[in-house]
A and B are shown apart, each in its own frame.
Chain A
Amino acid sequence: MTIKDRTAIAGIGQTRFAKSLPESELAMACQAITAALDDAGIDPGEVDGMCSYTMEQNIEAEVARNVGLGDVTWFSQIGYGGGAGCGVVGNAAMAVATGQCHVAITWRSRKRGAATSRPWAQVSNRISGSWQWSRPWGLLRPVDEIAMLTRRYMHEYGATRDHLANVALASRKHANRNPAATMHDKTMTREQYLDARWISEPLCLFDNCLETDGAVAAVVVSAERARDLRQPPAVIHAFGQGLNQQHQVMTNYFRDDPLMGPAWTCAKVLWHNADLTPGDVDVAQIYDAFSPLIPLSLEGYGFCGRGEGAAFTEDGGLEWPDGRLPTNTSGAGMSEAYVHGFNLIAEGVRQIRGTSTSQVKGAETCLVTSGEGVPTSALLLTAAR
């Protein structure tokens, strides 16, 4: 038994995105959730399922009594930061498919713009857990942790900064077409990319995602119910999570093959439970806290061979409309907003509906992925058939 095609995303909602917003995280969560329910045409009193990230600061009980939800019979949270997003929706889909609830809301609300809100900046002077084996030597931030893998990747496979620039520039071009993107009005040239200041060599400023305040929500119901609602359903064709053998979160340097990350494990279950293959995917939203996660994920999800992810980005490979795989068509984390990857799910739904600002013509299948470098998750969304 699988959940193939049994559930769908019937509504999406989001706040505006900005470096700093006056609303509280709770107010933003409520705004995004009510917008998603309105998009679906479902009354808040019908909601009986809830799922978000373990890092979400708004607990279910507070959200439920603000939004006016009914009696909730299923609630859960998914761990590992940016790796959680598709897992939040996928677990809600499993709960709906197994009858634990009927209308599930999923969301992420985050005030990230203030420098003091950055988790790495709140490190105490005594480090416990796995980070005690990296932070004392000055390997402090997520960007440092991914830069270490990136340097090795470049060394093993001949990837260059030009390849990483391809990722950043594709996202920026797409954001320039998306009025909701915080970088809508800011173009970027390859020269600007190459001249940008270092953050952690070999990664520069534009290899990093944005810091954003904002919230995004999605409503999950049965595929049958979704057919009768306001919007064309984005059917959850397949869903996967991945925690690969001997993985250490973020500082994944200690397994035999550190460049083979959780995406590889997630891809196994995703494609196993799907009727589709990577060649059937029309458009992708690939988690992009850092640009090198795109080539690593392209390899993990099987769009190219090992070490070929960088070359895949060449000649506009990721760009709308003619790239071999238009990727991150809203601008995603690097140029739309960084809402822990949940905005990528909303963009995946828009592609299936045909309403993206960089719409891939006739798109029927969209892969959405969550963070690589941490235990992760992915969704394969399709149009109703």
Chain B
Amino acid sequence: MSPMIDNAPLPAVDETSQPFWDGTALGELRVQRCAACGTRRFPPRPMCPACQSLDVEWEAMSGRATVWSFIVPHPPLLPAFMPVAPYNVIVVALDEDPALRMVGNLIADADASINSVDPATITIGEAVRVVFQPAGEEIVLPRWVRA
């Protein structure tokens, strides 16, 4: 079975987020770094809250992280997610800076579905690494496998 979820909501890519999604398409997990003061930030936004600069660079992360928290959604859900429920959603903390967190899913391998890992085996703090999975024609979503 294809891991793609038909009609799942996808990000509306805009001028702020475009470099992130360009990165995932190339197999890179990028976060913003302020070009003026060097502070990293995620999710992407136009201004650096530390120094108010609008100048931004993008930095590729290692893709290594740990599970910060996780949930297991059950129905009622958006119709797109009903066939894969129950599945997991995780928040990971990036190894480069544990205050940088991202929402994702823990999957068995890069081609697996978001319900491919037994949720009873997921633990907070376990090490994961990023994989990239196409979701529709234009978007590649980062998801996570056990490191």
Whether A256 and B103, one on each chain, are in contact in the complex, defined by CB atoms closer than 8 angstroms, is no
A149 and B124 alpha carbons, distance in the complex (Å): 12
In the complex, B70 has a CB within 8 A of chain A: yes
Whether B89 lies near A148 (C-beta < 8 A) is yes
Query: CB distance B72 to A138 under 8 Å?
Result: no
Contact of B71 among A115, A123, A147, A255 (CB under 8 A): A147
User: For the complex, is B147 an interface residue (Cβ under 8 Å from A)?
Assistant: no
Roughly how many angstroms separate A326 CA and B139 CA in the complex, as a whole number?
A: 50
8 Å CB interface, B39-72 against A: 42-43, 49, 68-72
A49 to B8 CA separation, bound complex (whole angstroms): 44
A interface footprint on B1-25 (CB within 8 Å = 1, 0 otherwise): 0000101111110100100000000
Contacts of A246 in B (CB 8 A): 49
- The CA-CA distance from A202 to B122 in the complex, in Å, is 13
A167–B12 CA distance with the chains assembled, in angstroms: 38
The contact string, 1 if C-beta is below 8 Å from chain B, for chain A 240-268, is: 00000010100101111000000000000
Q: B42 touching A254 by the CB < 8 A rule? A: yes
Contacts of A135 in B (CB 8 A): 9
Interface string of A115-141 (1 = CB under 8 A from B): 100001101111110101111111111
| Chain B residues within an 8 Å CB radius of A147 | 71, 73
A152 beta carbon closer than 8 Å to chain B: yes
Shortest CB-to-CB span from A199 to chain B, Å, is 6
Q: Please classify how large the interface on chain A is, using the bins under 10, 10 to 19, 20 to 34, 35 or more.
A: 35 or more
**Least CB separation from B99: chain A residue:** A256
A174 vs B141: C-alpha distance when bound (angstroms): 46
Pair B10/A125 contact, Cβ less than 8 Å: yes
* Contact code string A139-180 (vs B, CB < 8 Å = 1, else 0): 111001001110110010000000000000000000000000
Interface size on B, residues (CB 8 A): 41
Residues of B within 8 A of A255 (CB): 99
| B69 contact from A134, A137, A151, Cβ within 8 A | A151
- Interchain Cβ contacts within 8 Å, total number: 118
**A124 and B9 alpha carbons, distance in the complex (Å):** 7
Q: Does B102 contact A (CB under 8 A)?
A: yes
- Is A197 part of the contact surface with B, judged by Cβ < 8 Å? yes
Contacting residues, chain A, for B74 (C-beta < 8 A): 197-201
Interface contact A127-B72, CB-CB below 8 Å: no
A155 and B69 contact, Cβ closer than 8 Å, known pairs A121-B78, A201-B74: yes
Roughly how many angstroms separate A141 CA and B141 CA in the complex, as a whole number?
A: 20
Q: Tell which of A125, A139, A152, A198 touches B103, judged by Cβ atoms closer than 8 Å.
A: A139
Inter-chain CA distance A63–B82, complex, in Å, is: 40
When C-beta atoms are compared, the residue in chain B nearest to A245 turns out to be B49
Asked if B27 lies at the interface with its beta carbon under 8 angstroms from chain A, I say: no
- Compute how far the CA of A115 lies from the CA of B78 in the bound complex, rounded to whole angstroms: 12
Task: Give Cα A296 to B116, complex, Å.
Answer: 32
Listed residue (A123, A136, A139, A199) with the most chain B CB atoms within 10 angstroms of its CB? A136
A147 to B73, CA, bound (A): 9
Residues of A within 8 A of B14 (CB): 128
Which residues does chain B contribute within 8 Å of A151, judged by CB atoms? Answer: 69-71, 124
**Residues of the A chain whose Cβ atoms lie less than 8 Å from the Cβ of B73:** 138-141, 144, 147, 199-201
Give A147 to B71 CA distance when docked, in angstroms: 6
Are A136 and B68 closer than 8 Å at their CB atoms? Answer: no
**CB <8 Å contact, A138 and B105:** yes
Instruction: Return chain B residues, CB-CB under 8 Å to A128.
Output: 11-12, 14
With both beta carbons as reference points, the residue of chain A lying nearest to B135 in the complex is identified as A136
Q: Kindly supply a per-residue 1/0 record for chain B positions 71-112, scoring 1 wherever the CB is within 8 Å of any chain A CB and 0 otherwise.
A: 111101110010010110101000000010111110000000
B104, A137: Cβ atoms under 8 Å? yes
Q: Which residues of A contact B43 (CB under 8 A)?
A: 130, 133, 248, 254
State whether the Cβ of B134 lies closer than 8 Å to any Cβ in chain A.
no
Separation in Å of the A31 CB from the closest CB of chain B? 30
Question: Chain B residue with minimal CB distance to A123?
Answer: B9
- Can you pick out 14 interface pairs between chain A and chain B where the beta carbons lie within 8 Å of each other? A121-B76, A124-B9, A125-B8, A127-B10, A127-B11, A132-B12, A136-B11, A137-B103, A140-B9, A147-B71, A148-B70, A201-B74, A248-B43, A251-B103
List 20 other contacts, CB 8 Å, given A120-B78, A148-B69: A125-B8, A126-B9, A126-B10, A127-B12, A128-B14, A133-B102, A135-B9, A136-B10, A136-B135, A137-B141, A138-B77, A139-B103, A140-B77, A140-B78, A141-B77, A148-B91, A155-B124, A198-B86, A200-B74, A201-B73
The 6 A-B pairs with the shortest beta carbon distances in the complex, nearest first, are A132-B11, A201-B72, A152-B69, A128-B12, A126-B12, A133-B43
